[in-house]
């Protein structure tokens, strides 16, 4: 397929020659053939001429759940990748949150095959331990060879410190990336919300910040001893930012991410017991939000993730204590981030992370494969039900102010707008 983008403003902070320039871009058979001020459309070419069209390198989300296999009623892989593409993401890292969990090479191959040939590329994680039970290491090397980009027992702490030590040591043999969820389950207990004024007022069992910070401190001590590559997903407290900043100053190979909703909302949103705001880790305080945003700006926090977790209505329309954790995040990601950070910083955030997961870093350049996200960064609106494309509808962003509309993507020799 041939595609001609007309008058597209290129947002590419790392390329001074093209950054914020308005150009026509001709794409033939998935490859950028020409970038120029004006290009006449050849025959048999799809013309893309959209209002206030901006483009950037395709976006990466480092943490997404769907439902398949096990919970197809929440979201299938095919439809989830459609949602990701319409939300601007050309690449997603798929959490090991399926049922059964992906703890063998054949499981990883299955997930890759289900995502093959779509406009959004899918890169699966494998579990760190067999069945995700935290007892014995899974087949890490075999899963790596099958295409797993990291190893993670989804939203579960690595309770056994010796197991994390062995995992970090073993994974160094094949450059494996180990995830460790930052929450001590013993300290969390049966908590369902941030431990503070709001949880006390509402009578909800609290999850202290200590549950996260103690786990991170322990993991960083182990990493300092073993070496290796550690990623700490979805941190949520101000002290966590400090702990990771200090570890980086020591030269430890650690990265971390934060969920977008922890940059937008605080535990004050729980006042109506709306279960869409029940997530793990929980929403924290204004002080934590401020520290997390500062951590992104100064580079302590490496990646921002949608932490997209579809949950069907039956598991959300129950008492707050019994509701499943999770919120949608793909559809609202760009609008929420652009509202907070502005265009250039948002694009820098959304295009980071490829090398950490062993993925190819692409560029917008003649002769290169087209991996492009299309959007209008100026549209302002409130996020509504009509903006949700996912099968499940559990979004905590309903009513939140957004800035920016995504048109779609050009990737994998596909166009979806």
Q: Please report, rounded to a whole number, the percentage of residues in the chain having pLDDT higher than 70.
A: 100
Domains of the chain: 2-55+364-383+397-416 (2.30.40.10), 58-357 (3.20.20.140)
Q: What are the angstrom distances between the C-alpha of 262 and each of 7, 224, 236, 329, 415?
A: 36, 28, 6, 11, 32
Model pLDDT, residue 50: 97
Q: Which residues of the chain have pLDDT under 70?
A: none
Average pLDDT, the chain: 97
Cα-trace Rg, the chain? 21
Print the SS3 string covering the chain.
Answer: CEEEEEEEEECCCCCCCCCCCEEEEEEECCEEEEEECCCCCCCCEEEECCCCCEEEECEEEEEECCCCCCCCCCCCHHHHHHHHHHCCEEEEEECCCCCCCCCCHHHHHHHHHHCCCCCCEEEECECCEHHHCCCCECCHHHHHHHCCCCECCCCCCCCCHHHHHHHHHHHHHHCCEEECCCCCHHHHCCCCEECCHHHHHHCCCEECHHHHHHHHHHHHHHHHHHCCEEEECCCCCHHHHHHHHHHHHCCCCEEEEEECHHHHCCHHHHHHCCHHHCCCCCCCCHHHHHHHHHHHHCCCCCEEECCECCCCHHHCCCCHHHCCCCECCCCCHHHHHHHHHCHHHHHHHHCCCCHHHCCCCCCCCCCCECCEEEEEEEEEEECCHHHCCCCCCCCCCCCCEEEEEEEEEEECCEEEC
CB 302 within 8 A of CB 352: yes
CB 53 within 8 A of CB 22: no
Model pLDDT, residue 414: 95
Instruction: Say which residue the tokens 């943490």 belong to.
Output: 63
Model pLDDT, residue 277: 98
* Residues known to be catalytic: 307
Model pLDDT, residue 102: 98
Model pLDDT, residue 1: 80
Look up residue 138 and give its two tokens.
């899974």
pTM here? 0.96
CB 74 within 8 A of CB 312: yes
Model pLDDT, residue 14: 85
Among 311, 404, 337, 390, residue whose Cα is nearest residue 97: 311
């Amino acid at each position: 397929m041939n595609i001609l983008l007309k008058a597209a403003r290129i947002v590419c902070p790392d390329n001074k020659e093209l950054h914020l320039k308005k150009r026509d871009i001709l794409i033939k058979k998935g490859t950028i053939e020409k970038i120029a001020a004006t290009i006449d459309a050849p025959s048999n070419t799809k013309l893309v001429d959209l209002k206030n069209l901006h483009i950037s390198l395709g976006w990466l989300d480092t943490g997404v759940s769907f439902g398949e296999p096990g919970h197809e009623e929440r979201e299938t892989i095919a439809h989830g990748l459609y949602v990701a593409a319409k939300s601007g993401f050309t690449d997603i890292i798929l959490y090991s949150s399926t049922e059964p969990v992906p703890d063998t090479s054949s499981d990883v191959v299955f997930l890759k095959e289900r995502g093959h040939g779509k406009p959004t590329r899918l890169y699966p994680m494998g579990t760190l331990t067999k069945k995700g039970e935290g007892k014995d290491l899974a087949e890490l090397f075999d899963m790596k060879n099958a295409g797993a980009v990291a190893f993670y027992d989804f939203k579960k702490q690595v309770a056994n410190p010796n197991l994390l030590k062995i995992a970090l040591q073993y994974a160094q043999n094949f450059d494996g990336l180990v995830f460790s969820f930052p929450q001590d389950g013993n300290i969390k207990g049966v908590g369902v919300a941030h431990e503070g004024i709001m949880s006390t007022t509402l009578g909800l069992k609290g999850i202290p910040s200590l549950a996260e910070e103690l786990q991170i401190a322990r993991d960083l001590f182990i990493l300092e001893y073993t070496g290796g590559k550690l990623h700490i997903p979805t941190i949520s407290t101000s002290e966590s930012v400090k702990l990771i900043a200090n570890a980086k100053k020591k030269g430890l190979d650690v990265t971390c991410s934060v969920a977008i909703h922890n940059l937008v909302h605080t535990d004050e949103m729980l006042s109506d017991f709306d279960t869409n705001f029940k997530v793990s880790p929980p929403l924290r305080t204004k002080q934590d939000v401020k520290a997390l945003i500062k951590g992104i700006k100064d580079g302590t926090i490496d990646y921002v993730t949608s932490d997209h977790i579809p949950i069907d209505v039956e598991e959300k329309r129950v008492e707050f204590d019994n509701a499943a954790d999770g919120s949608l995040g793909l559809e609202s990601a760009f609008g929420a981030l652009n509202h907070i950070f502005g265009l250039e910083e948002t694009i820098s955030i959304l295009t980071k992370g490829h090398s950490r997961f062993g993925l190819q870093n692409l560029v917008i350049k003649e002769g290169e494969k087209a991996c492009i996200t299309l959007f209008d960064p100026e549209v302002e609106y409130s996020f509504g039900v009509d903006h949700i494309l996912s099968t499940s509808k559990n979004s905590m962003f309903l009513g939140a102010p957004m800035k920016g509309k995504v048109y779609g993507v050009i990737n994998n020799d596909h166009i979806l707008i």
